[in-house]
Amino acid sequence: MMDKFISIEGIAKRYRGAAGGEIAVFEDLWLSMARGEFGCVIGHSGCGKTTVLNILAGLDEPSEGVVIVDGQAIEGTSLDRAVIFQSHALLPWRTVLGNVAYAVSSKWRDWDRAKVKAHAQIFIDLVGLTGAEHKRPSELSGGMKQRVGIARALSITPKIMLMDEPFSALDALTRGTLQDEVRRICLETGQTAFMITHDVDEAIYLADKIFLMTNGPGAVLAEIVENPLPKNRGRADLHRHPYYYAVRNHIVDFLVSRSKTFAADMPSHDPRDVPVVRIGKSELVIASVSDAQQEDPKLESWQGISRPSTSS
Amino acid sequence: MTTSLRFRAAIVSIALFLGFIAVWHIATRGSGVVANMSPEYAKLMGATATQGKSAMPGPIDVGGKLWEHLKRPFYDNGPNDKGLGIQLGYSIARVGLGYFLAVLVAIPLGFLIGMSPLISTALDPFIQILKPISPLAWMPLALYTIKDSGLSAIFVIFICSVWPMLLNTAFGVAAVRKEWINVARTLEVGTVRRAFTVILPAAAPTILTGMRISIGIAWLVIVAAEMLVGGTGIGYFVWNEWNNLSITNVIIAILLIGLVGMLLDQVLARFTRMVTFPE
C-alpha cells in the first residue's frame, strides 16, 4: 500500500436548509494522495469541490470526519498548506515583491528585511516576473497576477499546494503557459499538489490522479482515474498519445451523463473503497484502449498502407 | 483637452465672481433718497436715513475691512476685541482636540464592531439612538457635568465627529474582502498583525472617508457651539459682531469659516488619496 501523505477520512459538510433540516453537500468522503502526487478534482458546480479544498486548507471545517496530512490531523490553517486562490487574492496596496515578502515574513518571522527580500526574489524569478517586483497588482495582467499568487504560495515552501481553479479566469493562451509553469515547478520540486478544475484537458495534462465527483447535494467521490499518460508528457503532443482520447472520453462521459445518475446506478458504491480506473489496463475495457495497446503494430500497418504507392 | 476645460472653467468662475461682486456693489450703492430732517433728529438716525447709504455693506467696505484684519490678524485688545487669527485659532484648536479624541475612540471601537458580530449587534441600538441627536442638545448636560464652557465645546465636537468615523470604520472593517482575510489565515498571521497588515490598509479608504465627513460636521458645529459658549472662537466672533451690528465683520467671518472648512476638507481628502489603492 502506498503511503498516505494526505488522507481525507470520512468528511461530511452539511448546511442548515431553509426548511430547518440539514442539507449535506457531501457525506462520508474518503480520499488519499501520496507524497509528490498531483491530484485534480473534477465535478460540476455545487458538488462541494471548493468545500473539500477549503477544508484541506483549514479555511472551513468539516461537519464530520478528519483530514490527516503527513501523519497529523489538521486543525485550522497552516503554513504547510499554501493556497492559490481563483481570484489571485493579492493585496492591492502591496507591490509584487511586497505580496510575496508578506508570505515569506509570515513563515520566517525572525528573518531580517534583506533575507526576506532575497528569498521572495527567488520565487519571483521562478515564475518569470523578474523586473516587475515593484509593480502593484493593478498594473499587472491577469496572468501575471496569478503568477504572483503562485510565487506567494511557493515561497513558503509548503508541503502541499492547494489550487482552487487557479486558471479559470485567464485566457486560453495564458492558461497554457501557466499550466506549463506549474507542471515544471511541481516536477522539479516534487511538490504535492491538489487542484480543482472544470477543465478536463487541464486535469489530464497536470494530474497524476483525477478524482471524479458526482453532482451535489449528496455528492460522492465516484472514481479515481489514474492518468495513463507518461510522466514526461508535453503539451504539444498530449493529444497524440494513444490513451489520451480514452481517458478524456471517460471523464467527459462521466461529467455529461454518469455524474447525474451515479448514485442510482451504483447503489453498492463504497465511499471507503472508491474504484480506481486504469485506462489501458485489463480491468477496464474501452474500445479504443484495446487498439491503443497494440500501438506499434498499428502504426506500422498504417505506414504500410501508404507505402505501396512508393515501393511498387 | 483637460487643460482647455480647466482654463474655460476658470474663466467662467472668474466671470461669475465678478458678476456677483458687481451685483452686490450695485445693490448696496444706496437709495439716494434722503428725507429732510432737523440735525438733532438726524443724529438719532442711521446713515441709511441721513445719507441714503445702504444698510448692507458693499464689497468695497468688506474688502477694506478684510484688508485691515489681514494686516493684524493676531492683535489682542481684551476679551471683546481680538484679531481674527486668534479667534480662528481657538476654533481650530477646539475642533482639533475634540476631533482627535473622537479618532482615538471611534477607530478602535469601529474595528471592534467591524470584527465582532456580537459587539456589533449589542452596540447597534445605542448607536442608532445616539447618532441622530443634535450635538448641541448635549450642551446643557455637558455644561452641567463638566462645569467648563471651553471643555463643553470640545465635548460637543467630540460627540458630533465620533459617529461618522465609528460607522465608517465598522463598515470598512466588516467589508474587507474575504479572500484577503483568507490569505492572512492561510499564512497563519495572528489577529493583531492581521488587523494592521490586512484589515487596516484594506479599510483605510473607508475610514478616511468617515474622518472627512466628521471634520466637516465638526467645523459646522463649532460655530454654533461657540455662539452658545462665548468667550473666544470664530463662532463667538460672529455673534459678538452681530451684537455690535457690524455686518461687515459678520460677512468677513462667514467668508473665513468657509475658507477654513474647505482647507480642513482638502487636508483629509489628500490623506484619503494617499491610502486609496487601485484595484
CB contact under 8 A, B188 and A89: no
User: Which residues neighbour B41 within 8 Å (Cβ) at sequence distance 6 or greater?
Assistant: none
Mutate to test the interface with B, among A69, A75, A93 (most CBs of B within 10 A): A93
CB contact under 8 A, B197 and A59: no
Answer whether B243 touches A (CB < 8 Å).
Answer: no
Residues A123 and A75 sit within 8 Å (Cβ to Cβ): no
Nearest Cα to B235, choosing from B70, B84, B46, B61? B84
Long-range contacts made by residues B273-278, C-beta under 8 angstroms, separation at least 24? B275/A93, B275/B201, B275/B204, B275/B205, B275/B208, B276/B204, B276/B205, B277/A92, B277/A93, B277/A136, B277/A138, B277/B201, B277/B205, B278/A92, B278/A136, B278/A138
Whether ipTM > 0.85 holds is no
CB contact under 8 A, B183 and A79: no
User: What is the rounded end-to-end Cα distance, in angstroms, of chain A?
Assistant: 57
Mean pLDDT by 10 residues, chain B (279 residues): 85 97 89 72 73 82 91 86 91 96 96 94 95 92 92 94 96 94 93 93 96 96 92 92 92 95 96 91
| Cα distance between residue B9 and residue B1, in whole Å | 12
| Cα distance between residue B68 and residue B79, in whole Å | 19
| Cα distance between residue A300 and residue B59, in whole Å | 104
Q: Which residues of A touch B182 (CB under 8 A)?
A: 59, 83, 85, 89
Q: Write the residue in A59, A138, A156 that is nearest to B279 by C-beta.
A: A138
Enumerate residues 222 to 241 of chain B having a beta carbon within 8 A of any beta carbon in chain A: none
| Cα distance between residue A296 and residue A151, in whole Å | 42
- Gap from A298 CA to chain B (nearest CA, Å): 52
| Cα distance between residue B84 and residue B235, in whole Å | 11
Report the run of H or E that residue B99 belongs to, with start and end.
helix B84-115
| Cα distance between residue A87 and residue A167, in whole Å | 9
Buried b (16+ CB within 10 A) or exposed e, A73-98: ebeebbbbbbbbbbebbbbbbbbbbb
The string of DSSP letters for A147-215 reads: HHHHHHHHHT--SEEEEESTTTTS-HHHHHHHHHHHHHHHHHHT-EEEEEES-HHHHHHH-SEEEEE-P
DSSP reduced 3-state for B175? coil
In this prediction the pTM is 0.83
Tens digits of per-residue pLDDT, B211-264? Answer: 999 999 999 999 999 999 888 999 999 999 999 889 999 999 999 999 999 999
Q: Which amino acid is present at A37?
A: E
What pLDDT was estimated at residue B2?
65
**Cα dist. A12→A59, A162, A164, A218 in Å?**
15, 19, 19, 9
Mutate to test the interface with A, among B187, B189, B196, B274 (most CBs of A within 10 A): B187
CB contact under 8 A, B185 and A92: no
Nearest CA in chain B to A108: B187
Q: Write the residue in A91, A137, A138 that is nearest to B198 by C-beta.
A: A91
Cell of B122: 449589542
Residues A41 and A196 sit within 8 Å (Cβ to Cβ): yes
Q: Which amino acid is present at A260?
A: K
- Side-chain half-sphere exposure of A149, counting CA atoms within 13 A: 29
DSSP reduced 3-state for B183? helix
Residues B235 and B226 sit within 8 Å (Cβ to Cβ): yes
Q: Which residues of B touch A77 (CB under 8 A)?
A: 185-188
- Cis-peptide, bond into residue A217, ω within 30° of zero: yes
Nearest CA in chain A to B201: A93
CB contact under 8 A, B182 and A91: no
What pLDDT was estimated at residue B128?
94
Q: Which residues of A touch B275 (CB under 8 A)?
A: 93
- Gap from A93 CA to chain B (nearest CA, Å): 5
Nearest CA in chain B to A95: B277
CB contact under 8 A, A82 and B278: no
Burial of B276 (0-12, 13-18, 19+ CB in 10 A): middle
Answer whether B189 touches A (CB < 8 Å).
Answer: yes
| Cα distance between residue B174 and residue B171, in whole Å | 5
Q: What is the pLDDT along chain A (312 residues), one digit of tens a residue?
A: 457 899 999 999 988 887 778 888 888 899 999 999 999 999 888 888 899 999 999 999 999 999 999 988 999 899 999 999 988 899 999 999 999 999 999 999 999 999 999 999 999 998 889 999 999 999 999 899 999 999 999 999 998 999 999 998 888 888 888 899 899 888 888 899 999 998 899 999 999 999 999 887 888 898 999 998 888 888 888 888 888 888 999 999 999 988 888 888 888 888 888 888 887 754 444 444 444 444 444 333 333 333 333 333
Mutate to test the interface with B, among A80, A84, A91 (most CBs of B within 10 A): A91
- Gap from B119 CA to chain A (nearest CA, Å): 23
Q: Write the residue in B177, B186, B202 that is nearest to A77 by C-beta.
A: B186
| Cα distance between residue A301 and residue B227, in whole Å | 105
- Gap from B274 CA to chain A (nearest CA, Å): 11
Q: Write the residue in A82, A102, A107 that is nearest to B197 by C-beta.
A: A102
Nearest CA in chain B to A55: B186
Cell of A279: 485506462
> What is the number of CB-based contacts under 8 A between chain A and chain B?
56
A179 phi and psi angles, rounded to 5 deg = -60, -45
What pLDDT was estimated at residue B32?
64
Q: Write the residue in B182, B201, B278 that is nearest to A59 by C-beta.
A: B182
Q: Write the residue in B177, B188, B198 that is nearest to A79 by C-beta.
A: B188
The residue assigned the cell 492547494 is: A162
Answer whether B76 touches A (CB < 8 Å).
Answer: no
Burial of B207 (0-12, 13-18, 19+ CB in 10 A): buried
DSSP category for residue B138: G
Helix B84-115 vs helix B247-275: angle between axes, to the nearest 10 degrees?
40
What pLDDT was estimated at residue A231?
84
CB contact under 8 A, B277 and A103: no
Q: Which residues of B touch A107 (CB under 8 A)?
A: 187
| Cα distance between residue A302 and residue A173, in whole Å | 34
Where does A59-131 have alpha helices with state H? Answer: 96-107, 113-126
The residue assigned the cell 498516505 is: A4
Residues A241 and A204 sit within 8 Å (Cβ to Cβ): no
Q: Which residues of B touch A83 (CB under 8 A)?
A: 182-183, 186
User: Which residues neighbour A204 within 8 Å (Cβ) at sequence distance 6 or greater?
Assistant: A210, A227, A229, A238, A244, A247, A248, A251
Starting at the earlier edge strand, list the strands of the sheet with A64-69.
Answer: A22-33, A6-16, A64-69, A72-73
| Cα distance between residue A178 and residue A149, in whole Å | 11
Answer whether B187 touches A (CB < 8 Å).
Answer: yes
Mutate to test the interface with A, among B186, B207, B275 (most CBs of A within 10 A): B186
- What is the DSSP pairing of strand A64-69 with strand A6-16? antiparallel
